[in-house]
Amino acid sequence: KRTRPNILITGTPGTGKTSLSAELSSTHGMKHVDISALVKEKDLHDGWDEEFQCYILDEDKVCDELEDVMAPGGVIVDHHGCEWFPERWFDLVIVLRTDTQSLYERLVKRNYNDKKIENNIDCEIMQMILEEAMSSYKPEIVMEMQSNSIEDNENNQKVIGEWIQAW
């Protein structure tokens, strides 16, 4: 049995997963695994997707890489997808949601191409990540949180921090 919880922070790109994860991991002494960075660093991909300007991650390679990391607990994983992770890995799944205007501005700042921006905005409007999380994990461990502002981020840190303390 794990002595510390594992948390997945997911949501459409641009919702604030990485900044929230980094803040929580440093505040609570947990390990932060940014899946996108891990895929790049360890070559856990099947090449580059020209259309969406990103690596095509190899889910099996990522899971193999993380198995021993996840086992002891105390890990915060941050990624925009969630259905392919083993359910047993997580004690809490956070889905960050952002209004489309704020999300649009964040994605433009990242220099995403129009197709990638449109795809991510559509994904957010249709609540695809939330639905993916609800169908992949027990609903009682899935928590939807707004991520539109600095205040939202601070509130999310507080709520998740209290959950970590109570675990």
Q: Residue 9's closest CA among 167, 159, 119?
A: 159
109-160 pLDDT, tens per residue?
999 999 999 999 999 999 999 999 999 999 999 999 999 999 999 999 999 9
- Residue whose tokens read 């990485």: 18
Which domains are assigned to the chain? 7-161 (3.40.50.300)
- Both structure tokens of 67: 């198995």
Evaluate if residue 167 carries a pLDDT over 90: yes
Alpha-carbon distance 66 to 49, whole Å? 23
Sign of CA dihedral 153, 13, 37, 9: positive
Percent of the chain with pLDDT over 70: 100
Q: At how many degrees (to 10) do helices 59-70 and 35-42 cross?
A: 110
Q: How confident is the model at residue 52 (pLDDT cuts 50, 70, 90)?
A: confident
Phi-psi domain of 41 (left: phi exceeds 0; alpha: psi -120 through 50; beta: other)? alpha
Task: Check residue 1 and give its pLDDT.
Answer: 81
